Chains A and B, each alone.
Chain A
Amino acid sequence: MSTNGLGRRTKYPAKYSAFSLIKHGLTKADWPQAWRKHELKSSYDVVIVGAGVHGLATAYYLATNHGITNVAILDKGYVGGGGSGRNTAIVRSNYLTPEGVRFYDRSVKLYEGLAADLNFNIMFGQMGHLTLAHNDSSLRTMRWRAEVNKLEGIDSEVIGPDDIKKLVPYMDTSENTRYPILGALYHPPGGTVRHDAVNWGYARGADVRGCEIHQQTEVQSIETVDDRVVAVDTSRGRIATSTVVNCTAGWASLINAMVGLKMPLVTHPLQAAVTEPVKKFLNAVVVSGSLHVYVSQTDRGELVFGASTDPYPSYSMRGSLAFTEELAGHVLELMPGIAKMRLLRQWAGLCDMTPDFSPIMGITPVKGFLVDVGWGTYGFKAGPVSGESMAQLVATGITPENIASFDLARFPEGRLVGEKGAAAVGH
């Protein structure tokens, strides 16, 4: 199935290119709106809750791959204002289970072609991704991932301290540290994207194809008849629809509750932070599971940090001091030379964690109520493939093979997905 067959045929009112930049520069003409505002219609074929990367991508692929455009994407805030605009935008596919690897690899492939697909530069920099191992058991897990990755054709290998030092000269790879670096899982295709660009590009692509993005539109309740979705009540009025897709990440449980569903989801804040910019010195994404930290450097020169989720569930996004303390302490264990760099800003997003560190995707006991939730700390990198797969499910009514193992029924049936081993921080 082509991800952009219909997409290519769609004309943007103003195609983005160096040429158009210069033209607009000279003529001082205004750029058209990236996406438009609409009155809320009384009914839509599909209502997607959450205008983050998952919701927007689902709409985009509904339009491009299936020609379904009578779609409303509702968000109580603004486009990409939730986890999609708060994550550290790391993209990789070196997971532990074959199903996980195949799924995320499809996402990486989509990301590689996304700038062209969307005519929007998402700045996918594949600088390489390193997951450090500080003890033999995590080194064993890295080896495990590497071997599964290879079988799935993913570029992934365990490397030693010397090679790590070559890739990241700032890394303290000496033996006499409290957390000696024994090796790392090296994943060359891994890297980062500009998260806002992905959100906006999908929004623009969905909008131009007729899907309607409704910001500042909060879902207040969902009407069902005989366990079948019939309508969505919003802060801007009622929408009749037979299909609702829940793409609200940290808030997913609250939307689920509107149709009386409880799932194995716990919402934990996930914090991130950036430093002031300094000249480029870090040309890889570095992750340490044992030290609960991941770091990369943006083109602007800022270091972007993430860590593990907060230790107790919460819907608070206020951020904590303890997070920055642990983060800094652990980053300096890895790169002692940057102690005088300054932390500029911290923030938090909400993650809906599942017991097996895998998403919950697909149908539910309520007909017409589909979920794309349980995205924990790894949702952004899966945005494109999730959108593609959910769109296929909505359009065909058949659960695509690549998300079959992420079904809700796996919990009562005791078929948990084995990503546990690779999870912890791994992002």
Chain B
Amino acid sequence: MSTAVTTGRRLAPQAGEVIDRRAPLSFRWDGKTYTGFVGDTIVSALVASGVDVFSRSFKYKRPRGVLSATFHDPGCTVQVGDEPNVRAAHRRLAAGMEVSPENVWPSLKFDVGAANQLLGRFLSSGFYYKTFIKPQRLWPAYQQILGRFAAGGVTAADAEHGYFDKRYIHVDVCVAGGGPAGMAAAVAAAESGASVLLVDEEYELGGHLRYGGDADLAALAELRAEVAVHESIEVMTNAAVTGRYDMNWIAVVQRQPGISVQGHAIHERLCKVRAGSLVVAAGLIERPYVFAGNDLPGVMLSTAVRRLVNLHAVRPGDNAVVFTANADGDACAQDLRRIGVGVTVVDARTDANIRRAEGGKRVKTVELADGRRVDCDLLVTAVGWTAATPLLNMAGDRPQYDATAARFFPTDRLAANVVVAGALAGDGSTSELVAHGAAAGATAAARAGHGSEVPAPALARVPHPELYRSTTHGIVDFSEDVSSKDMFSAKKEGYDSIELVKRYTTVTMGPSQGKLESANAVAIMAEAHGVSDFNEIGTTVWRPPYVPITLGALGGRGFENTRFSPMQPWHEQHNAKPLVAGDWIRPEHYGDPAAEVANVRRSVGIIDVTPLGKLDLRGPDVPKLLNLLYVNKWSRLPIGAVRYGVMCAEDGVVMDDGVTGRLGENHYIMTTTSSGAATVWEWTENWLQTEHPDWQIHVTPVTTGYASMNVAGPKSRELLGRVVSGVDLANDAFPYMHVRTATVADIAGCFMWRIGFTGELSYEIHVPAAYGLHVWEALFDAGFDLGVVPFGVEAQRIMRLEKGHFIVAQDTDGLTLGFGADLGWCIKLDKDDFAGKPELVWQSRRDDYQRLVGMQPVDPTIVPAEASQIVEGTKKIVGRVTSSRMSPTLGRSICLGFVEPRLATPGTIVTCQLPDRRRVPLKVIEGLAHFDPDGARMRI
């Protein structure tokens, strides 16, 4: 590599740099305009422009600069436009980016919060648990103030949602980590014939090779070429495996994948991967060193310096102290010398050490263990590594500490479909790591059914000094501002397990989730406990996601099923007010529900009841099934007849109701409530498949095979007479509670039954769905002169309430047994068996349950809100109103509700408390029906 001439902080062109100097970009930071190049991260561009401080720390508001120059860099979280908490040391620069600092109220430079530094000694961890206790009434005020210190960026209520996306991926092998081992694993797996997904967090494959020397760059070029030739390898960069879940269900987040959908750039995409095997080649994360002043701007990890210098051609300082314990630190010193930075090496391997760093907005002086003081503007530490084991952890492993190599290693507790590759397993040269990766890749492929396993060549565990904390106290968790001193005192207070100290001090709980600090946290705890073996301390459990993922990506495109009837276009043209009823959109009314009621009572109206559940039942054993499902009897239902039935669950609680009609010898149609359609079908299948597989019955749901419409009102027969052929509609020929198949408006294959939910003469017509709109329109054309108008769900609710017909789950609840819903008339306890029979038998012998009754407010103008309570004395609840409406037909308010048995006698006056706390009298009526109790109108 040629010696570079530096211009300001931007170095001259050099091999391996990822910036494109022909493509300058201008952006704004903290209100000022800066420029950088394509390929720069926000931070590298700012460092090149002389910016040192990117944020203030969470608690003490200390200035923070570059530490790791990676996604996890705790001091480099910024606001970009309406996007909070952007990782500025990772996010690549884009033209016109509006970047602003976070946590710096009122400004990055002047910061009142910095006063906290003086208070620091009082703001020890958990201080808030120990104060603001009294007086209690002031706590909300204290809480307001604490809230101001909340970290992070800002959101806006009206922020643009952005385009997010998801996709499913099925591969034989998923490789997490695109360093040398990961790339080799992918290639080997592909050569075994496996399909491969290769995922890396950075923008290019290569891992640490990217910012290495000439040899590294050469090796990298080779590996990249090998990956490229294999079409069976899908490469995802700037992406991360965020979680490994049961059975290798793997979450991968793709950030700004550079895909545009109809002009919207995809912000993030969640890939849900089902992989035969997972290769974890996540590598090592360089560890910060704990000492006084270790969070000063200008104190950086060796890998941070090498990234800035070699990838982004940025000069991070002029005078450096390099505290190194390994080859990477040495290489960093080399790089610094190459670009002309003055370097003082402090070599840990010769027992030299640093004690503390001093400075204000940037490090000025380093005090060494031997007392020497060295002035510098850059302090580099290379004290060792944290193994990136979260994915292994999620796969059941609990990595063990090895004091010789001074880091954690995987154990054999790993799930068989997860394989470790590369530096996680040990140390080695590039070629050794590649060999290890290749073996891991082949083994992973074999476990996914391709080729055969290859034993991995053992990687050495190179001895490394155990360097965690100097003789001074410093920051352990940079994003939470937790110091080693905090952890010592927490332990002394009895928060002595790693989980307790984590919760008490919040160490490892911040945005970097322990990536940088977990090893140090364990080491500090071991020191506090005076134990040498870290394994006695254990580690906190890493939880998904490995890196934070946007809610947008997790939510995806939000496909929510919505169901419509064939008549929906007509409803929209006629200004129906949409009612969301589960998945269905239904007309609540067409403007005036009361008028719709009046019209039905006076002449004729039509309602769209397509959502009614319909099951086609065929076979000789159908009566057995009906007898089992319903509380009433079905053995002798004649062909052409329909019957109302109620279903109870095994606990006797009312579950569903509807009518079932017999169309032929072995052919029945069952209707259910619209919300109960799916439940009743599954319930039916359950009985047939698990209790009575010997019964000859075929069940077919035909709910939306038919468009269903109820033609109701005294003139409904006359209207139907104009469009129905093949059926004699005369009262005696087609009586109440019967069914006929017919041709309606030239559409054959319709069936219609005569029932009366509204209490009027009415026919429910079921039409082959594709002709639903045709028949619907034909009915309105034909009935124009009869004054036919549509009516909606609300009008139907009013009319059924006038008739005292209850609605399951409104006039009953999760504990209403059959007799409580006034169903004694249809519950046939003399049947051998039916669902819920035992509970109903026992209930029939009791008298202690609330009864469903019809009620009318004594003041007919008062309509109690539904769920108003029936009370006695100051607060005793003795019932409630379940349904309540103003009846246009009766010109008075009417109710259904529950009352204690002793109050159920007709004529009883009960007290109802309205939401506004007024108390009004209601009179219990005879039966449930307020209108036409003996049902004469339905039988005309």
Q: What is the interface of chain A, defined by CB distance below 8 A to chain B?
A: 16-18, 20-22, 24-26, 28, 30-36, 77-81, 85, 98, 112-113, 115-116, 119-121, 123-126, 134-135, 137, 140-141, 143-144, 146-148, 150-153, 157-158, 169-170, 178-180, 194, 196-197, 200-201, 215, 275-281, 299-301, 316, 318-321, 324-325, 327-333, 335-347, 356, 414, 416, 418, 420-421
- Residues in B whose Cβ lies below 8 Å from that of A119: 133
A and B contact pairs by CB, cutoff 8 A, 26 listed: A18-B132, A26-B121, A33-B494, A34-B494, A36-B494, A115-B136, A120-B130, A140-B866, A147-B869, A200-B129, A278-B150, A278-B153, A318-B245, A327-B554, A328-B551, A328-B552, A333-B558, A338-B155, A340-B267, A340-B550, A341-B155, A341-B551, A342-B551, A347-B543, A418-B814, A418-B815
Instruction: Mark each residue of chain B from 507 to 540: 1 if its CB lies under 8 Å from any CB of chain A, else 0.
Output: 0010101000000000000000000000000000
B813 touches A420 (CB 8 A): yes
B159 touches A337 (CB 8 A): yes
A30 touches B157 (CB 8 A): no
- When the two chains form the complex, which single residue of A112, A121, A325, A341 contacts B128, counting CB atoms closer than 8 Å? A121
B139 touches A78 (CB 8 A): no
Docked pose: A194 CA to B128 CA in angstroms: 11
- When the two chains form the complex, which single residue of A33, A79, A336 contacts B493, counting CB atoms closer than 8 Å? A33
- Residues in B whose Cβ lies below 8 Å from that of A318: 245-246, 394
Docked pose: A150 CA to B865 CA in angstroms: 15
Instruction: Mark each residue of chain B from 87 to 125: 1 if its CB lies under 8 Å from any CB of chain A, else 0.
Output: 000000000000000000000000000000000011010
B150 touches A301 (CB 8 A): yes
A324 touches B554 (CB 8 A): yes
A137-B810, A339-B162, A340-B552 known; A278 vs B497 contact (CB < 8 Å): no
Q: Does B718 contact A (CB under 8 A)?
A: no
A112 touches B136 (CB 8 A): yes
- Residues in B whose Cβ lies below 8 Å from that of A158: 915
- Residues in A whose Cβ lies below 8 Å from that of B82: 340
Docked pose: A115 CA to B147 CA in angstroms: 19
B130 touches A85 (CB 8 A): no
Choose among A16, A24, A276, A345 the residue with the greatest number of B CB atoms under 10 Å from its CB: A276
Q: What is the interface of chain B, defined by CB distance below 8 A to chain A?
A: 82-85, 121-122, 124, 127-134, 136, 139-140, 143, 146-147, 150-159, 161-162, 164, 166, 243, 245-246, 249, 251, 267, 270, 272, 394, 489, 492-495, 497, 499-500, 503-504, 509, 511, 513, 543-545, 548-556, 558, 560, 562, 580-582, 809-810, 813-815, 839, 842, 865-869, 871, 875, 877, 880, 913, 915, 917
A325 touches B915 (CB 8 A): no
Docked pose: A197 CA to B493 CA in angstroms: 14
A124-B139, A144-B867, A278-B84 known; A339 vs B552 contact (CB < 8 Å): yes
Kindly list 5 other residue pairs between chains A and B, CB separation below 8 angstroms, not including A150-B917, A281-B155: A126-B140, A276-B152, A281-B154, A328-B551, A341-B551
A30-B492, A279-B152 known; A121 vs B814 contact (CB < 8 Å): no
Docked pose: A153 CA to B917 CA in angstroms: 12
Q: Give B494 Cβ to nearest chain A Cβ, in Å.
A: 4
A346 touches B545 (CB 8 A): yes
B867 touches A17 (CB 8 A): no
Choose among B133, B810, B865, B869 the residue with the greatest number of A CB atoms under 10 Å from its CB: B133
- Residues in A whose Cβ lies below 8 Å from that of B545: 324, 343-346
A279 touches B150 (CB 8 A): yes
- When the two chains form the complex, which single residue of A33, A146, A337 contacts B915, counting CB atoms closer than 8 Å? A146
Q: Give B603 Cβ to nearest chain A Cβ, in Å.
A: 28
A140 touches B132 (CB 8 A): no
B867 touches A140 (CB 8 A): yes
Docked pose: A81 CA to B85 CA in angstroms: 30
Docked pose: A113 CA to B157 CA in angstroms: 35
B867 touches A342 (CB 8 A): no
Instruction: Report the 4 A-B pairs with minimum CB-CB distance, sorted nearest first.
Output: A301-B150, A328-B554, A339-B552, A342-B548
B867 touches A147 (CB 8 A): yes
Name the CB-closest residue of A to B868: A147
B868 touches A277 (CB 8 A): no
A21 touches B154 (CB 8 A): no
- Residues in B whose Cβ lies below 8 Å from that of A280: 147, 150
Name the CB-closest residue of A to B503: A196
- When the two chains form the complex, which single residue of A35, A116, A344 contacts B133, counting CB atoms closer than 8 Å? A116
- Residues in B whose Cβ lies below 8 Å from that of A143: 865-868, 915
B84 touches A25 (CB 8 A): no
Q: Give B568 Cβ to nearest chain A Cβ, in Å.
A: 16
B489 touches A30 (CB 8 A): yes
Docked pose: A201 CA to B130 CA in angstroms: 10
- Residues in B whose Cβ lies below 8 Å from that of A201: 129
Q: Give B720 Cβ to nearest chain A Cβ, in Å.
A: 32
Docked pose: A166 CA to B136 CA in angstroms: 27
- Residues in B whose Cβ lies below 8 Å from that of A346: 543-545
Docked pose: A324 CA to B546 CA in angstroms: 14
Name the CB-closest residue of A to B816: A418
Docked pose: A160 CA to B489 CA in angstroms: 50
A121-B128, A152-B875, A301-B152 known; A147 vs B245 contact (CB < 8 Å): no
- Residues in A whose Cβ lies below 8 Å from that of B156: 337
Name the CB-closest residue of B to A176: B578
A336 touches B124 (CB 8 A): no
- Residues in B whose Cβ lies below 8 Å from that of A336: 161
Q: Give B545 Cβ to nearest chain A Cβ, in Å.
A: 6
Docked pose: A134 CA to B839 CA in angstroms: 34
A115-B133, A318-B394, A337-B159 known; A328 vs B121 contact (CB < 8 Å): no
Docked pose: A281 CA to B84 CA in angstroms: 13
B161 touches A85 (CB 8 A): no
B84 touches A121 (CB 8 A): no
- Residues in B whose Cβ lies below 8 Å from that of A16: 129-131, 133
Q: Give B169 Cβ to nearest chain A Cβ, in Å.
A: 13
Q: Give B479 Cβ to nearest chain A Cβ, in Å.
A: 10
A277 touches B152 (CB 8 A): yes
- Residues in A whose Cβ lies below 8 Å from that of B555: 325, 328-332, 339
Docked pose: A339 CA to B550 CA in angstroms: 7
Docked pose: A168 CA to B503 CA in angstroms: 29
Docked pose: A275 CA to B159 CA in angstroms: 17
A79-B500, A140-B866, A345-B513 known; A339 vs B551 contact (CB < 8 Å): yes
Q: Give A18 Cβ to nearest chain B Cβ, in Å.
A: 4
B915 touches A344 (CB 8 A): no
B544 touches A319 (CB 8 A): yes
A116 touches B124 (CB 8 A): no
A22-B122, A125-B143, A147-B913 known; A278 vs B133 contact (CB < 8 Å): no
Name the CB-closest residue of A to B560: A178
- Residues in B whose Cβ lies below 8 Å from that of A319: 245, 543-544
B581 touches A135 (CB 8 A): yes
- Residues in A whose Cβ lies below 8 Å from that of B154: 278-279, 281
Name the CB-closest residue of B to A280: B147
Q: Give A267 Cβ to nearest chain B Cβ, in Å.
A: 17
A151 touches B550 (CB 8 A): no
Name the CB-closest residue of B to A19: B131
B513 touches A278 (CB 8 A): no
B143 touches A123 (CB 8 A): yes
Docked pose: A30 CA to B124 CA in angstroms: 11
- Residues in B whose Cβ lies below 8 Å from that of A301: 147, 150-152
Name the CB-closest residue of A to B492: A30
B558 touches A329 (CB 8 A): yes
Q: Give A346 Cβ to nearest chain B Cβ, in Å.
A: 6
A277 touches B556 (CB 8 A): no
B130 touches A299 (CB 8 A): no
- Residues in B whose Cβ lies below 8 Å from that of A148: 869, 877
- When the two chains form the complex, which single residue of B124, B150, B875 contacts A151, counting CB atoms closer than 8 Å? B875
Docked pose: A178 CA to B83 CA in angstroms: 26
Docked pose: A281 CA to B83 CA in angstroms: 15
Q: Give A357 Cβ to nearest chain B Cβ, in Å.
A: 9
Docked pose: A219 CA to B852 CA in angstroms: 50
Docked pose: A275 CA to B151 CA in angstroms: 12
Docked pose: A104 CA to B75 CA in angstroms: 44
A16-B129, A144-B880, A341-B550 known; A196 vs B504 contact (CB < 8 Å): yes
